[in-house]
Amino acid sequence: MKASFFELTPMDTLFFRGSQPMEAGQLSQRAMFPPPVSVFAGALRTAVLREKGVSFAAYNRSENVPQEVLEAVGQSGAPAPFSVVAVLLKQDGVVYAPAPFGWFVDRTDRPDEGKDWSGKPVLRAALCGDDLAKSLGIKVSSGAPPLVSVNDEAQTLGGTWIRWEALGRTGDWKLEPGDLRLPGELYAEECRTGISLLDEQGRPTRNVQTGKLFSATHVRLKEGVSLVVGIAGNSKEWRGLGFGERGTLELGGERRICGYEKCSLEMPSVSEATHYVALAPVAVPVDDKEILPAVLCSGKLQRTAGWDLHKKFHKETVSWLPAGTVFQSNINGQCVGIGR
C-alpha cells in the first residue's frame, strides 16, 4: 500500500469529541485521540475547496465545481475517493505509531515513562488452539481466544505509541530506549469550561446564560510534537488532493488552525505477515460480518456522531475500533502487516 503523508502542526489545542452530548452541567469527557479518520478526511476536503476557491454552497449543490476538485475530494455527500490510513505522532524527528494491542510485555507494574519499558521482550498474542483451550479448561462464546505466555502479568502495549520502524521487526526482540512513548509524553489533556450562549429554545444569542456551564477536554501536543497523517487513494484513478507542498487547514471541533507540510515516509513492510495492525480507527458498520470476526486484539469500541454538512442534519452514530487494533487479515487493504 502506497500512501502520501502530511505533517500537521496545530497552532493551539485540538478538540475531538465523541457522541456524548455537551449540555449544561455535563462532566467533561475524555478526548477521543487519535480521532476518527472522518475528522481528517473532512478537514482535507475542506482545505482543498478553500485552496481552489470553491464555495461550500456551490460544492453542496455541485454547481460550477471544477472536475479536478471532484476527482480529488469527491461529490458532496458521497464518500471521499481517498482514505486516511495512518494517524501518527512525530516528536523531535522520530515518528511514532499506535502500538498494536496484540503486543505485550511481561511485568507487574505500568511505568510512567516509555524508557522504563526498555529491555523488555515484546510478546505477541496468538489464537489458542482447541486442544490447548480444552486442556486449560477455557470456554468462550466468540471462538478461540488470543493468549500470551507470561511469568508475571501481561501488559498490552495498546494505547501507547511505538517507534515507526519497530512495526517491521520480526522474531524475538526487546524494546530499546526511545522505542516507546506513553500518551502523557506526547500530549496532555486539558479540561476547558465554557458557558452557553443559547436561549431556552436552543437559538444563539449574544448573551451568556446564567448557570449553563459545560466542560470539554482538549488535547495539547507537547513541545516538538506534531501529527503525521497518511492518505491513500481508493482507486487507481485517484491522482491526489492537489495540495501545495505546505499551507493551513482547520481541524476538529472549534476549527483549530494547523499548518501542514508534505513529508516523506515509507510504510513498514513485513514479508509473509500473519497479523495486521490498523494505524487509524476503523469504522464498524451496523451489519458488519467481516471486520469484527477478524479482530485478534483491540481496545474498547468508540462512538461518534456529528453534523452532516450536505444533509444539514445529524449524522448517524458510528462505532470505531481504536488505532492499534490487530486483525487476522488485512480487512480493508489499508492495515500494516506485522510479524508474529
Q: What is the pLDDT of residues 171-222, one digit of tens each?
A: 889 999 999 999 999 999 888 777 777 777 778 787 877 777 767 788 899 9
Q: Is residue 83 part of a domain?
A: yes
Cell of 278: 490498523
Q: Is residue 226 part of a domain?
A: yes
Distance (Å, rounded) from C-alpha 134 to C-alpha 139? Answer: 8
- Mean of per-residue pLDDT scores for the chain: 84
Q: Is residue 181 part of a domain?
A: no
Q: Is residue 237 part of a domain?
A: yes
Q: Is residue 305 part of a domain?
A: no
Strands 82-91 and 4-10: unpaired
Q: From the DSSP assignment, how many helices (H) and strands (E) are in the chain?
A: 5, 24
pLDDT band at 109 (very low <50, low <70, confident <90, very high): confident
Provide the β-strand partners of residue 6.
229, 262
The domain tally of the chain equals 1
Q: What is the pLDDT of residues 122-171, one digit of tens each?
A: 999 888 777 776 777 777 766 778 888 888 899 999 999 999 999 988 88
Q: Is residue 34 part of a domain?
A: yes
Provide the β-strand partners of residue 229.
6, 87
Q: What is the pLDDT of residues 156-168, one digit of tens each?
A: 999 999 999 999 8
The string of DSSP codes covering 77-143 is TSPPSEEEEEEEEEETTEEEEEPPTTEEEE-SS--SSGGGGTTPBPEE-EEPPHHHHHHHT---SSS
Percent share of the chain, pLDDT over 90: 30
pLDDT in the model for residue 308: 66
Cβ burial of 252 (10 Å; 0-12, 13-18, 19+) is buried
Q: Is residue 303 part of a domain?
A: no
Q: Are 250 and 44 in contact (CB under 8 A)?
A: no
Cell of 320: 470505531
Q: What is the pLDDT of residues 287-339, one digit of tens each?
A: 888 898 899 999 988 887 766 666 667 777 888 899 999 999 999 888 999 87
Range of the domain at 236: 1-19+28-92+221-267
Q: Is residue 279 part of a domain?
A: no
Q: Are 101 and 297 in contact (CB under 8 A)?
A: yes
